[in-house]
Amino acid sequence: MTKQRFASVWDAIEDTPEEAENMKLRSVLMTALKNHIVRTKMSQAQAARLFGVTQPRISDLMRGKINLFGLEALVNMATAAGLHVEMRVLESA
């Protein structure tokens, strides 16, 4: 049996490189949003009002339910939170 090495857990579990890249970006945004909520000591209700979503949506975010969030929604939430989102595109190694 040979061992495979992956650069990311997403590379290992997603079916395509495209899906893996999408999940990497979503996970970074979700982590940033969760950290912002914790750091600012906002309640889920406060975060929901600020981000323009419902409290159950914030609960899903805090519990890491990544499959419920698309990139556009996460970027919109990050912007509403006052976070600045940057993206870099690099050539594959």
| CATH code, 35 | 1.10.260.40
Name the domain count of the chain: 1
- Cβ–Cβ < 8 Å for 10, 23: yes
Question: Residue holding tokens 């939170």?
Answer: 81
> What pTM value is reported for the model?
0.84
- Give me the pLDDT at residue 83, please: 96
Residue 68: pLDDT band (50, 70, 90) is: very high
> What digits encode the pLDDT tens for the residues 7-46?
766 666 666 778 888 888 999 999 999 999 999 999 999 9
In a domain, 49, yes or no: yes
User: What's the pLDDT at 12?
Assistant: 60
The domain in which residue 13 lies consists of 9-80
> How far apart, in whole angstroms, are the C-alpha atoms of residue 29 and residue 26?
5
